Structure 1
Amino acid sequence: SFSIPHGNYGRIAPRSGLAWKKHLDVGAGVIDSDYRGEVRVVIFNLSQNEYVVTPGERIAQMIIEKVVPTEIEEVDDLEATERGAGGFGSTGVKLNEINNDLNKE
């Protein structure tokens, strides 16, 4: 048994070796400090190969993180940013920008 100190929470994360070698990932992994039940781990197999977890196998890790009290303010309009509403990958350097920089040298 264990308890998470008040003002913190536990985040269940995958172990890097298992994620890299076996393509297993962990989902839904937040444990509140007042939770007292059994901790279970949700595992996603992202490969085509069957994987059987054996008792005692280290498949995940819990990282204790501090809860940062934050106030969120609802607004009618958001200020403009360079990124705007760009989604996944929109902040990366574009290939033609790299080529332009290389051609300058």
Structure 2
Amino acid sequence: MTSHLLHAVPVQYPLYPEHEFQPRIEDIEALITPRTKVLVLNSPSNPLGAVICEETTRELVELAVKHDLWIISDECYEAFTFDVPHTSPARFDSAVPGRPGSSRP
């Protein structure tokens, strides 16, 4: 993983069906340390297809601002949503780099 080349330690956060595959803000905040620099979001996710809802996306952006974190948003499956529309974090903060498009050439 690229993070290891940068001497970064990735911390994964699992999504659970009992939370409708939504990240819980309090759980994410508990994982943040003084060394945390980046919050990577993957929505819609692969292989689950889970979409982070608009409210949670806004709260994640607020959390990143509060802790002075970068957000990298992987949005390559944004066109493949059904029940919940995709909301980019860039909607709430124009400084968020997104990655729309296709994952394969």
Same fold per superposition (TM over 0.5): no
Higher relative contact order (CA 8 A, sep 6+): 1
| Greater percentage in strand | 1
Q: Give TM-score, length-normalised by structure 2.
A: 0.22
* Larger Rg computed on CA atoms: 1
Considering fraction of residues, name the structure with more helix: 2
Q: When the two structures are superposed, what TM-score results if normalisation uses the length of structure 1?
A: 0.22
